[in-house]
């Protein structure tokens, strides 16, 4: 192999210990070593950040490799190329001379090439009688052969990090989807649970994600979302278990046989007809005794004072202003779109909004506003619900304002963020909430 001794750069270029180390590595190249130059270049390109090389520097290295006639780089052959700056710049996509010199220096500093400068700094080759190169001055590519295995290992390390990063991104996407879908399922099904707490905690976690997060940040976010998903799943699972138990009990009750025959005697039929004809029959519910006229807006606003805060400019002058605040109230109460649309279809938009305003007025007493609204919708579908009793109850409660205010104050002080809807937030989730809220 030519130039086994240390080669110093021409002119005012300084010599460094890094250059000596690179030349020592090249001299330690085993005999008969042979690598595919483009495969090695691909490995260098993948590991360029670890090697300290730039993309422009790699374009210069790519141009240098094109001046080597063979596809393979062998320790037994000539590994020095001697293109002029003009030729090299032409193959490097017209790079300017100053930029070319700068990136050639970067390649030398990274230990990817070695300068073999002639006494006068020119690049050329001296050939013998047989046409073989006896002496060449230019850029030595032997580090590519000597460090080929190192480049391949670094490229595999980078590829492994990319795969891990991709897996974490996929995990993040799945966790975000799971948490959102599970919370929406709980709201849609009317499950009693701390859905507002879950939603706020999810938003705090996601809002702290940068545009290009590191893999460490992704790990922390995914762990927090994993804990949140576990908590939401527990709430839904408990509800499913209670539903199954209730279904089993009702199924068992249907198999209980009644020993008494299910018929009505003629005397009972005749007495019932007489009572109904005389108007003595009692109604099971009092809906028919309620006023038939529509509720005045003033009465509704007097009963639902808090609804003013949701309106534009805090004022409600007409039913249009009253209805416009429904979307804001629905979101604040955590009522799902499906539950709201169903209520509007059954009750009508105006009465559904009145019911929502009454629920908003009593939000501190209702664990699951969405489930409560669904329950009212089901009763209205069967003709067993009217908004009149809700408004009258609020007005009656207003007459006892002192007592009700004292009770509401004590209930508010006893309530904590960790207990909503009869479910207690676990210690692990509470610590996570403190961490992500800070």
Which helix H or strand E contains 127, and what residues bound it? strand 124-127
CB atoms within 10 A of CB 251: 9
* pLDDT per residue as tens digits for the range 218-241: 999 999 999 999 999 988 888 888
- Is the predicted pLDDT of residue 278 greater than 60, yes or no? no
Q: For residue 137, report the phi and psi dihedrals to the nearest 5 degrees.
A: -125, 125
Q: What is the reported pLDDT for 438? A: 60
What average pLDDT does the structure give for the chain? 78
- Is the predicted pLDDT of residue 286 greater than 80, yes or no? no
For the residues of 156-219, what is the DSSP string, one character each? HHHHHHHHHHHHHHHHHHHHHHHHHHHHHHHHHTT--S-HHHHHHHHHHHHHT--SS--HHHHH
Pair 295, 350: CB distance under 8 Å:
no
Q: For residue 423, report the phi and psi dihedrals to the nearest 5 degrees.
A: -115, 140
Q: What is the reported pLDDT for 247? A: 53
- Is the predicted pLDDT of residue 87 greater than 50, yes or no? yes
Direct distance between the N- and C-terminal alpha carbons of the chain, in angstroms, rounded to an integer = 64
pTM for the structure as a whole: 0.50
- Is the predicted pLDDT of residue 252 greater than 80, yes or no? no
The residues near 96 (Cβ < 8 Å, ≥ 6 apart) are 89
Please state the separation of Cα 144 from the chain's center in Å: 42
Helix axis angle, 17-27 relative to 97-109, nearest 10°? 70
């Amino acid at each position: 192999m030519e130039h086994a001794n240390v080669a110093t750069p021409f002119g005012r270029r300084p010599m460094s210990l890094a250059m000596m180390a690179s030349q020592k590595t090249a001299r330690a190249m085993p005999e008969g070593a042979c690598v595919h130059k483009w495969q090695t270049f691909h490995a260098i390109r993948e590991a360029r950040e670890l090697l300290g090389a730039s993309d422009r520097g790699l374009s210069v290295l790519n141009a240098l490799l094109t001046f080597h006639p063979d596809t393979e780089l062998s320790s037994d052959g000539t590994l020095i190329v001697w293109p002029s700056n003009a030729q090299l710049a032409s193959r490097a996509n017209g790079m300017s001379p100053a930029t070319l010199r700068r990136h050639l220096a970067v390649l030398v500093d990274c230990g990817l090439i070695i300068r073999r400068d002639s006494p006068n700094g020119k690049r050329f080759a001296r050939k013998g009688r047989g046409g073989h190169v006896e002496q060449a001055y230019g850029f030595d590519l032997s580090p590519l052969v000597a460090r080929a295995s190192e480049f391949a290992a670094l490229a595999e390390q980078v590829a492994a990090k990319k795969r891990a990063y991709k897996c974490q991104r996929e995990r993040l996407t799945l966790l975000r989807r799971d948490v959102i879908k599970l919370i929406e399922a709980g709201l849609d099904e009317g499950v009693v649970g701390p859905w507002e707490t879950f939603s706020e905690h999810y938003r705090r976690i996601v809002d702290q994600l940068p545009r290009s997060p590191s893999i460490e940040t992704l790990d922390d976010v995914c762990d927090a979302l994993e804990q949140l998903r576990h908590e939401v799943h527990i709430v839904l699972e408990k509800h499913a278990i209670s539903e199954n138990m209730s279904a089993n009990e009702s199924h068992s009750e249907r198999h209980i046989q009644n020993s008494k025959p299910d018929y009505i005697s003629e005397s009972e039929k005749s007495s019932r007809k007489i009572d109904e004809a005389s108007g003595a029959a009692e109604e099971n519910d009092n809906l028919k005794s309620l006023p038939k006229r529509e509720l005045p807006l003033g009465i509704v606003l007097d009963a639902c004072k808090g609804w003013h805060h949701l309106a534009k400019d805090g004022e409600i002058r007409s039913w249009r202003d009253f209805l416009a605040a429904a979307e804001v109230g629905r979101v604040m109460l955590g009522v799902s779109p499906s539950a709201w649309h169903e209520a509007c279809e059954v009750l009508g938009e105006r009465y559904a909004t009145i019911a929502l305003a009454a629920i908003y007025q009593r939000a501190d007493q209702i664990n699951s506003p969405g489930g409560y609204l669904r329950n009212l919708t089901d009763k209205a579908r069967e003709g067993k619900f009217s908004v009149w009793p809700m408004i009258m109850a609020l007005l009656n409660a207003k007459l006892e304002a002192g007592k009700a205010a004292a009770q509401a104050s004590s209930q508010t002080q006893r309530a904590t963020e960790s207990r909503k809807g009869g479910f207690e937030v676990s210690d692990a989730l509470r610590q996570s909430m403190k961490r992500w809220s800070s």
